[in-house]
């Protein structure tokens, strides 16, 4: 007989009254000498299926290895359930134990572990209800992203993970080398001789696929990337990872307003898709961690984002009367506390801030007429702060080159990028959505380490 997944079993009334095979991991077992109840999860849904063992048919010995965490297969009849909390249950006829889980040793034997503890056993935490729910929502969101762009004629472009250029210019890159670190080849002036390295030059893991994305957009019209990016900044915050996933659409012929429109439509689409397709998981997370979660998600989907300039935003912060840890005035980079004040306290809505001072933004952003600001846009979300960063790009060759020189970015690394401005340059724009920040928002989790299966943060890369 063919195995039926729990998610299908629970939503298909036709299975009631038939013989079924279910396979999964035991969540709990309880009962008495006449009857034993097992809650079985196969990961396909937040819901368990209840298995009922009539102890007239099974011996205590047979049920003994059926403990929390063990993996079993049960054949039996699916019937409507008498008990509350479930619609149907399986009355077991046969039991096969695939793998036991010694109750003395299994770390998830008991319920109610803290998220901090579960981070220490990240290899097992997907077996918990919380991480099952988060990982399913994450998967749903990833699918929504591809669907959104596919429906709008965007091409999915695969940009390299190993690169020789620093897109964001922040210098927080993980070097990639095959040189023997204990025996480095040196040049005459005592520096490391990277011509002997694998690629014949210094290379690193990418911080962003944008520069290559621009090459794609100025050929295919509109592209998006969706892949891992790496940042070696030593920031231990609940919103930073050393390895995170980013979605970066890049569109020829889009100005900053088109870019903002797309960004707003895009995040709303993803949130809506999750509400439509992952409601069981979102409800579970809302009940467990954050009663306002669903209202907050609906609110973001149903309301226009506020759009204003960085300058206007800074004025609001300056007259707010609020004591910030980091003082704020025109020219300072906004901290999460400033972003969240604007979003959560002042506007009570997502905000798109534009036209930032050029000094605090990357070299590729389009320079405004005022000579001071660039056509940047950051989308700021409640509970998260910055969820998207993007801009219209500087498409003028001379202005871009001047900025590259001003910032002392080595030109030899950038010639291929500048070629987009030498040959058939066009106005174009794009942005980057931090995938884990979106998953944070949709799941209501508060620490970014809890929305990626295997988080990488400073000092942590065990599993």
Under 8 Å between Cβ of 305 and 379: yes
User: Which residues have C-beta within 8 Å of that of residue 141, sequence separation ≥ 6?
Assistant: 270, 273, 274, 435, 438, 439, 442
Residue 208 interacts, among ligand 4AD, Mg ion, none and using kind-specific CB cut-offs from 5 to 8 Å, with: ligand 4AD
x/- site string to ligand 4AD, residues 160 to 179, per CB under 6 A?
-------xx-----------
User: Which residues have C-beta within 8 Å of that of residue 246, sequence separation ≥ 6?
Assistant: 208, 209, 225, 226, 227, 228, 229, 432, 433, 434, 435
Q: Which two tokens stand for residue 422?
A: 């030498």
**By CB under 5 A, which span of 2-10, 115-123, 329-337, 386-394 interacts with Mg ion?**
386-394
Q: Parallel, antiparallel, or unpaired for β 49-54 and 88-99?
A: parallel
x/- site string to ligand 4AD, residues 372 to 411, per CB under 6 A?
--------------xxxxx---------------------
Interface positions, 204-223, toward ligand 4AD (CB under 6 A)? 208, 210
Residue 390 interacts, among Mg ion, ligand 4AD, none and using kind-specific CB cut-offs from 5 to 8 Å, with: ligand 4AD
| CA 300 from centre of chain | 18
Among 132, 389, 444, 455, binds Mg ion (CB under 5 A): 389
Interface positions, 422-451, toward ligand 4AD (CB under 6 A)? 430-432, 434, 436-437
- Minimum CB separation from ligand 4AD for residue 257, in Å? 16
Nearer to ligand 4AD, 68 or 210 (CB): 210
Residue that the structure tokens 């969540």 belong to:
27
Under 8 Å between Cβ of 50 and 70: no
- What are the helix (H) ranges across 171-278? 210-220, 256-277
- What are the helix (H) ranges across 227-363? 256-277, 279-289, 293-302, 310-318, 336-340
Nearer to ligand 4AD, 53 or 431 (CB): 431
State the CB neighbour count (10 A cutoff) for residue 420: 21
- Minimum CB separation from ligand 4AD for residue 216, in Å? 12
Interface positions, 266-305, toward ligand 4AD (CB under 6 A)? none
Q: Which residues bind ligand 4AD (CB under 6 A)?
A: 167-168, 208, 210, 231, 240-241, 244, 246, 248, 386-390, 430-432, 434, 436-437
């Amino acid at each position: 007989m063919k195995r039926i997944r729990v998610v299908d079993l629970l939503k298909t009334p036709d299975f009631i009254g038939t013989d079924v095979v279910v396979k999964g991991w035991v969540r709990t077992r309880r009962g008495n000498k006449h009857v034993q109840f097992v809650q079985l999860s196969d990961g396909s849904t937040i819901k368990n299926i209840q298995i009922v063992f009539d102890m007239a048919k099974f011996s205590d010995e047979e049920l003994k290895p059926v403990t929390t965490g063990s993996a079993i297969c049960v054949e039996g009849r699916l019937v409507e359930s008498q008990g509350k909390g479930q619609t149907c249950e399986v009355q077991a006829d046969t039991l096969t134990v695939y793998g036991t889980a010694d109750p003395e040793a299994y770390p998830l034997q008991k319920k109610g572990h803290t998220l901090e503890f579960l981070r220490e056993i990240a290899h097992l935490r997907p077996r918990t209800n919380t991480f099952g729910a988060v990982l399913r929502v994450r998967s749903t969101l990833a699918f929504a992203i591809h669907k959104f762009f596919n429906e709008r004629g965007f091409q999915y472009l695969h940009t390299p993970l190993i690169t020789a250029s620093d897109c964001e210019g922040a210098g927080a890159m993980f070097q990639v080398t095959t040189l023997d670190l204990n025996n480095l080849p040196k040049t005459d002036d005592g520096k490391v001789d990277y011509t002997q390295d694998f690629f014949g030059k210094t290379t690193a893991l990418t911080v962003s696929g944008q520069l290559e994305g621009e090459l794609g957009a100025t050929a295919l019209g509109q592209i998006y990337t969706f892949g891992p990016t790496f940042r070696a900044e030593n920031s231990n915050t609940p919103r930073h990872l050393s390895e995170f996933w980013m979605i970066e659409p890049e569109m020829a012929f889009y100005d900053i307003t088109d870019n903002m429109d797309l960004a707003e439509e895009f995040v709303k689409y993803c949130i809506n898709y999750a509400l439509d397709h992952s409601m069981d998981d979102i409800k579970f997370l809302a009940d467990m961690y954050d009663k306002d979660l669903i209202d907050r998600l609906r609110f973001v989907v149903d309301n226009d984002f506020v759009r204003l300039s960085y300058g206007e935003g800074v004025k609001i912060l300056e007259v707010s009367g609020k004591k910030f840890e980091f003082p704020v005035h025109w020219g300072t980079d906004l901290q999460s506390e400033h972003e969240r004040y604007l979003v959560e306290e002042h506007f009570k809505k997502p905000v798109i801030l534009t036209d930032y001072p050029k000094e605090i933004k990357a070299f590729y952003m389009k320079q405004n007429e005022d000579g001071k600001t660039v056509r940047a846009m950051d989308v700021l979300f409640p509970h998260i702060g910055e969820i998207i960063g993007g801009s219209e790009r500087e498409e003028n060759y001379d202005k871009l080159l001047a900025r590259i020189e001003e910032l002392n970015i080595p030109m030899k690394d950038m010639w291929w990028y500048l070629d987009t401005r030498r040959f058939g340059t066009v106005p174009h724009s794009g942005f980057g959505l931090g995938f884990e920040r979106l998953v944070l928002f949709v799941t209501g989790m508060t620490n970014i380490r809890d929305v990626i299966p295997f988080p990488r943060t400073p000092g942590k890369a065990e599993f």
